[in-house]
A and B are shown apart, each in its own frame.
Chain A
Amino acid sequence: MKHRTFFWFILPSLAAMILFIALPTVSVAIQSLFVEHEQVMVEVENCGPFKCETVLQVDNEATAALQEDAPLGRFNGLGTYTNRKHLAFEQVGVAWNETESLGAFLSELLNLPFYKALIFTLTFTFVVTPFVIVLGLGVALAVNTVPRLFKGPTIFVSLLPMIVTPLVGALIIFWMVDADGVIGATLQRIFNNPNLSLKASMPLTWIMLIVYGIWSSTPFSFIVFYAGLQTVPKETLEAAKIDGASRWQAIRYVVVPYMMPLVVFITLMQLMDNFRVLEPIVAFQASAKATSLSWIIYNDLRGGDIPQFGSAGATSILTIIGVAILLTPVLIRTWRDFNRKRA
């Protein structure tokens, strides 16, 4: 295809992506260097019946004018990045020097909003992803053995947790495990503790969110593996059996190696999707015990009366750096494959 034709075909799509994905990233980077204006204060004389006193008051008009003048706020350099709400170098340094063990240091970190979110996001991503792969393969192998008649309905049902709106899916689980819900109330009875609430403890909240993550993502890996199983060559499997391989050995040494490219694909998709976890935290109202990077950005923008653009921007840039680190191995691998194909 000629360069010129290619350009005209790709232009609308490319323009949309540049305008609404690339440029916002720049906009975020600029925002992160500014902070909100301080409120303009004026001295006002307040006269009561007995005496007059001067008090400081917010000059709403002047503040609004200043806001109008420079909507970005005032320049702050990298100040937002290093403050307590973000990288908090000072607090981390203090914690490092004053705590004896690694565990104590980590629990200090969990008091800092950015690290709390980062630690949860990473835990969620790296616990959910392997579980999803192993469970998905297990379900695919099992479904592959059921009679043909039941396969269609089983796949239909399996698609539900994945297709469903994440917020709605999370709510449905939350209403069941909440203290009054069917699972929550049953657990209270089993442990004979009427105050038991999954939301009240940090480990239980984390487990609840991770279980939701596994529930909602397993169907994806199941479907991909199931389709992959249909393409495993029968001859290879038969050859393995003739050579005396047991069922387990056939799976371990024939099927699993054949599935490896799919594992890479699922891992990539899962890392991207789990890293942006937001909806379950909103639905479970779990932000007291667990926050994610996406959640603190969302909270900066929608949590208070005034959006905290600077703070949201700084967290966004740090999140994008995180995504870049996560994707680097995949990109390098693809680049090598591409070069090999060309060579």
Chain B
Amino acid sequence: MSTSVADRKSKGLIWFTTSFVVLWVFIAAGPFLWTVWGSFKVQPDFFSKSDWTNAIYGVMTKAETGSAFTGAGYYGAWVEQEFWRNSINTAIVVFFTVLISLTLGTLGGYALARSGYRYAFWLLMIALVFRAMPHATLVSGYLLPFFEWNIWGRLSTTIIVLVAINQPFTLWMLHSFFLNIPKDMDESAMVDGCTRFQAFRYVIIPVMWPGVITTGLFSFLLAYNDFTIGAVLLNSENQTMVPKIASFLGTVRETGDVMFAVAAAVSALVPLFFLILFFQRQIVSGLTAGAVKG
């Protein structure tokens, strides 16, 4: 194919797009780098009124601790404020939410993908409406009944609520993954005498893992990133990481303690960083799966 004039990129265009991408990378990653670096400084450095380069070189940190880096914020958050308790709570909530969401979601998503009836479409539409409900409105419906039944504040209650809130999205996503698995596979198993459940168990389950893993990543994100549900439904003993970080803001105003919140926030970033590192491809394909089917 011969290169037409329009195919050849002008110097100006290359310069423009490259600088645009560099700018975007800077805007997207800069705040994270800045905060991760600053979390190892003392407050007068990270929030320096006189000179912002103090946060980079750690002038005050050197003066206060003798070294340019300090783990004081992390010590304060994890040991003094017992942030490790919250991280264990988060681990429990996230693990069970993902596990239960996927179990319910694969069954439901499979059924929706294989049923040609009109009600399957309506269920998907209702799920879409449920997906749009702001979490704050749902939470205000839970609180009073949960107080009355005495199940408020427990991790198990929060897990069930997160599973339910996760269902609409999980159903949509797995439904579109199951549509991609040819109908002939399970139908031929049924011709050979399998029941519908056996066909699902022995034919579909072995081939569904890529879709399930992608959906699981998003369930993980929803449970891990949740603020509204955890903040309202958990008592202080069972609090997860994100509401705890929010409560740092309200309680610790004295000098130095803001750094607890900074350290805790950076700590909460770490699992997400590794999640993207290992599952970038699945996340991208999951984001676009909905769009292509949409």
> What is the bound-complex CA distance between A209 and B288, given in angstroms?
27
Q: Are A21 and B108 in contact (CB under 8 A)?
A: no
Q: Are A182 and B55 in contact (CB under 8 A)?
A: yes
Q: Whole-angstrom distance from the CB of A171 to the nearest CB of chain B? A: 5
Q: How large is the interface on A (under 10, 10 to 19, 20 to 34, 35 or more residues)?
A: 35 or more
Please give me the residue from chain B that is nearest to A166 by CB atom.
B225
Of the candidates B111, B125, B284, the one whose C-beta lies within 8 Å of that of A10 is: B111
Asked whether A49 is an interface residue with its Cβ less than 8 Å from the other chain, the reply is no
Q: Are B107 and A12 in contact (CB under 8 A)?
A: yes
B81-129 residues with Cβ-Cβ distance < 8 A to A are: 103-105, 107-108, 110-112, 114-117, 120-121, 123, 125, 127-129
A145-167 residues with Cβ-Cβ distance < 8 A to B are: 145-146, 150, 152, 154-161, 163-167
A182-200 residues with Cβ-Cβ distance < 8 A to B are: 182, 185-186
Asked whether B154 is an interface residue with its Cβ less than 8 Å from the other chain, the reply is no
B195-249 residues with Cβ-Cβ distance < 8 A to A are: 196-197, 200, 221, 224-225, 227-228, 231-232, 242, 245-246, 249
Asked whether A17 is an interface residue with its Cβ less than 8 Å from the other chain, the reply is yes
Provided the pairs A146-B21, A309-B140 are in contact, do residues A265 and B269 lie with their beta carbons within 8 angstroms? no
Contacts of B160 in A (CB 8 A): 16, 20
Please give me the residue from chain A that is nearest to B166 by CB atom.
A16
B43-82 residues with Cβ-Cβ distance < 8 A to A are: 46-49, 52, 55
Q: Name which of A1-9, A39-47, A76-84, A100-108 contacts chain B.
A: A1-9
Q: Are B167 and A316 in contact (CB under 8 A)?
A: no
Interface string of A126-146 (1 = CB under 8 A from B): 000000000000110111011
Contacts of A143 in B (CB 8 A): 21, 24
> What is the bound-complex CA distance between A26 and B142, given in angstroms?
10
Q: Name which of A57-65, A85-93, A241-249 contacts chain B.
A: A241-249
Asked whether A282 is an interface residue with its Cβ less than 8 Å from the other chain, the reply is yes
Q: Are B291 and A224 in contact (CB under 8 A)?
A: yes
A282-335 residues with Cβ-Cβ distance < 8 A to B are: 282-283, 285, 293-295, 297-298, 300-302, 307, 309, 312-313, 315-317, 319-320, 323-324, 326-327, 331, 334-335
Interface string of A204-237 (1 = CB under 8 A from B): 0000000000010001100110011001000000
Q: Are A186 and B144 in contact (CB under 8 A)?
A: no
Asked whether B185 is an interface residue with its Cβ less than 8 Å from the other chain, the reply is no
Please give me the residue from chain A that is nearest to B258 by CB atom.
A175
> What is the bound-complex CA distance between A335 and B122, given in angstroms?
9
Interface string of B245-278 (1 = CB under 8 A from A): 1100100000000000110010011001101110
Q: Are A180 and B47 in contact (CB under 8 A)?
A: yes
Q: Are A313 and B140 in contact (CB under 8 A)?
A: yes
Q: Are B242 and A167 in contact (CB under 8 A)?
A: yes
Asked whether B191 is an interface residue with its Cβ less than 8 Å from the other chain, the reply is no
Q: Are B164 and A16 in contact (CB under 8 A)?
A: yes
Of the candidates B17, B47, B167, the one whose C-beta lies within 8 Å of that of A16 is: B167
Contacts of B130 in A (CB 8 A): 17, 21-22
Of the candidates B6, B34, B137, B242, the one whose C-beta lies within 8 Å of that of A245 is: B6
Q: Are A72 and B144 in contact (CB under 8 A)?
A: yes
Contacts of B194 in A (CB 8 A): none
Q: Are B140 and A31 in contact (CB under 8 A)?
A: yes
Q: Are A157 and B25 in contact (CB under 8 A)?
A: yes
Contacts of A298 in B (CB 8 A): 136, 139, 228, 231-232
Q: Are A1 and B111 in contact (CB under 8 A)?
A: yes
Contacts of B288 in A (CB 8 A): 223-224, 227-228
Contacts of B161 in A (CB 8 A): 20
Provided the pairs A159-B276, A171-B261 are in contact, do residues A265 and B132 lie with their beta carbons within 8 angstroms? no
Interface string of B13-49 (1 = CB under 8 A from A): 1100110110011011101101100100000001111
Contacts of B129 in A (CB 8 A): 323-324, 327, 331
Contacts of B153 in A (CB 8 A): none
Q: Are A165 and B125 in contact (CB under 8 A)?
A: no
> What is the bound-complex CA distance between A264 and B266, given in angstroms?
35
Contacts of B228 in A (CB 8 A): 278, 294, 298
Q: Whole-angstrom distance from the CB of A324 to the nearest CB of chain B? A: 8
Provided the pairs A154-B21, A159-B276, A164-B272 are in contact, do residues A301 and B143 lie with their beta carbons within 8 angstroms? yes
Kindly list the 8 A-B residue pairs having the minimum CB-CB distance in the complex, ordered from nearest: A24-B141, A20-B164, A13-B108, A9-B111, A276-B134, A180-B47, A316-B137, A227-B288
Q: Please, could you name 6 A-B residue pairs with CB atoms under 8 Å apart, sorted by A?
A: A1-B111, A13-B104, A25-B138, A171-B249, A264-B294, A265-B294
Residues of A near any B CB (own CB < 8 A): 1-3, 5-6, 9-10, 12-14, 16-17, 19-28, 31, 71-72, 138-139, 141-143, 145-146, 150, 152, 154-161, 163-168, 171-173, 175-176, 178, 180-182, 185-186, 215, 219-220, 223-224, 227-228, 231, 238, 241-242, 245-247, 250, 261-262, 264-266, 268-269, 272, 275-276, 278-279, 282-283, 285, 293-295, 297-298, 300-302, 307, 309, 312-313, 315-317, 319-320, 323-324, 326-327, 331, 334-335, 338
